[in-house]
C-alpha cells in the first residue's frame, strides 16, 4: 500500500518584507526559496526550513534557552 506524504507547509507568517540581504524578516527564506517553494520536493523544503532556523538564530530572531542544570 502506497501512502502519499502531505506537502511540507510553508513557513510564511504573513510578515513579508525583505532585509538588506534579501531574506524575508517573517519566514527567513530567501527570494529564490520563496518563489521556488511550490516546485520543491518535501526533502528540499525540509532543507530550506533548516536554513531558515539557522538564519533566525544567527539574526537573533530565534532565541535558544539553555536547559537549567
Range of the domain at 27: 15-62
Could you give the angle at the alpha carbon of 45 between the alpha carbons of 17 and 52, nearest 5°? Answer: 45
Whether residue 3 lies inside any domain: the answer is no
Compute the distance between CA of residue 24 and CA of residue 16 in angstroms, rounded to an integer: 6
8: left (phi > 0), else alpha (psi -120 to 50), else beta? beta
Q: Is 9 part of a structural domain of the chain? A: no
Q: Domain tally for the chain? A: 1
53 in any annotated domain? yes
State residue 64's pLDDT score: 66
38 within a domain of the structure (yes/no): yes
46-65: pLDDT as tens digits: 999 999 999 999 988 877 67
Q: Indicate whether 24 pLDDT > 90.
A: yes
**Residue 20 located in a structural domain:** yes
Distance CA 63, CA 40 (A): 28
pTM for this predicted structure: 0.83
Q: Which residue has the higher pLDDT, 3 or 14?
A: 14
Amino acid at each position: 500500500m502506497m501512502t502519499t506524504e502531505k506537502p511540507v507547509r510553508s513557513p510564511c507568517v504573513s510578515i513579508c518584507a525583505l532585509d538588506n540581504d534579501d531574506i524575508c524578516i517573517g519566514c527567513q527564506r530567501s527570494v529564490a526559496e520563496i518563489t521556488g517553494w511550490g516546485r520543491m520536493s518535501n526533502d528540499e523544503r525540509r532543507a530550506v526550513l533548516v536554513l531558515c532556523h539557522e538564519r533566525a538564530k544567527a539574526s537573533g530572531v530565534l532565541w535558544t534557552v539553555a536547559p537549567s542544570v
